[in-house]
Structure 1
Amino acid sequence: MQQSHDCPQDQVGAWLSTDRSRRLAFLRWLSRGGHLTDCRLPEPTRQKDPRHDIDPEDQLALARQLLHYPDSASIEDRAAACLILLYAQPIAKIAALATNDIKVRDTGTYLALGPEPVLLIPPLDDLVTALPVAKPFGTASTLADARWLFTGKNAGTHLHPASLMRRMNQLGIVARASRNTALLHLASTTPPAVFASLVGIHINTATRWAELTGSAWNNYAAARR
């Protein structure tokens, strides 16, 4: 078997032996990114499940398209899709976002997805701030409730999560898999306590994702103190 200078094949096998299912997914993610070029990974024992395996580069390419090309989808669908692809937000939570969740400050536009509002990257900030004025036309406009960023068909309601799910599927987005891919990226680049607060997940969940990526954030809190 071939070996990598940075990660010998026998070490890969030993690491997989203790938690094969989760660790193998992480190693395949590294391999797709070109970080394990000389290591051989076990062949999958079953067909790839698209709900749990999305190429991060493909996801990033889709996010770029939706961010920068107005003709790619409606403002609502582009904003919702990017909240899934980049900020790992669940469909039900996106559908229920309210106008008062937007915080415009001197430092930029923030969106309250968790206890600590997250600074939105451009041009997503413009998409989100446009949502309160991107309401339906005609009769539906009289039913639109100004409280919601994503208005529903019935008076006073926000968009139903099932409707938003169908719209995301039409864009080629599988919500669970896209969220997992986004969480892997966040967990590998941001301390668990930070991204848990920003995207609105429990610290224990964030810690498990960090462990899955192998990120060394254990001493981060102590270092800050």
Structure 2
Amino acid sequence: MRTSPSLTQDQRMAWIRELLNGASESLPYRVAGILLLLYAQPLVKVVTLEMSFVDDKPAGMSITLGQRPTGVPEPFAQLLRRHVTNRPNLRTGAGPDSPWLFPSTLAGRHLHPNTVMDRLRELGVNLLGARNRAIGELVLEVPPSLVAEALGYSPKVAFLHADKAAEPWARYAGLSLRSP
């Protein structure tokens, strides 16, 4: 039987706290790491996020990772706001008009995914384990089809993670119809 690497939920939460509050890394890498740890986003996708995917309204912040916007909880919203207003590398190419949430030092480009991966690995973050734990926790809270839609995953992948988490939502309707 093949196993996938994973963090414990305590390890995942410790990394989220560190990236939210710690000074172990610069702001862009902290934001990228939290997108991995909170929303199970692969870093190759994180670095290609555009500014237009982030919507900050008085009612709250959201980010579009899948088919529709997903809420950004505090205190991560505060950190993301700081990053949006202080993006690095804006003196190249498009300047402040750069469409990228994570602009590169190369004009008109976004950060290379390996740059972000290497920085987070140097900190000690198990990238695949973090993503597996994040999606595993999300499918425990929300039906896998909704997780897939909100985060840009295929329903098949979300249901596989739900099965691994021992919470197959396919049986949910049948369980709710049973008498107590």
Q: TM-score, with normalisation over the residues of structure 2?
A: 0.86
Q: Does 1:61 align with 2:14?
A: yes
Report deviation, 1:193.
1.2
What SS does the aligned partner of 2:39 have?
coil
Distance in 1 of aligned mates of 2:58 and 2:83: 20
Distance in 1 of aligned mates of 2:93 and 2:84: 10
> Measured at CA, do residues 56 and 123 of structure 1 come closer, stay the same or move farther in structure 2, by a change above 3 Å?
same
Q: Does 1:86 align with 2:86?
A: no
- Which segments of 5 or more consecutive residues in structure 2 lack a partner in the other structure? none
* Structure with more relative contact order (C-alpha pairs < 8 Å, separation 6 or more): 2
Pick one of 92, 97, 119 that aligns with 1:143: 92
What SS does the aligned partner of 2:61 have?
strand
Q: Is the 8 A contact 1:135 1:144 kept in 2?
A: no
Structure 2 partner of 1:170? 122
When the two structures are aligned, how many residues end up with a matched partner?
A: 172
Q: Does 1:111 align with 2:60?
A: no
What SS does the aligned partner of 1:148 have?
coil
Q: Is the 8 A contact 2:90 2:103 kept in 1?
A: no
Distance in 1 of aligned mates of 2:74 and 2:167: 27
What amino acid is aligned across from residue 8 of structure 2 in structure 1?
Answer: D
Distance in 2 of aligned mates of 1:99 and 1:52: 31
**% identical aligned pairs:** 30
What amino acid is aligned across from residue 169 of structure 2 in structure 1?
Answer: W
Q: Please, what is the CA RMSD of the aligned residues? A: 2.1
- Which segments of 5 or more consecutive residues in structure 1 lack a partner in the other structure? 1-20, 26-50
Q: Does 1:217 align with 2:166?
A: no
Report deviation, 1:221.
7.1
> Measured at CA, do residues 149 and 59 of structure 1 come closer, stay the same or move farther in structure 2, by a change above 3 Å?
same
Structure 2 partner of 1:205? 157
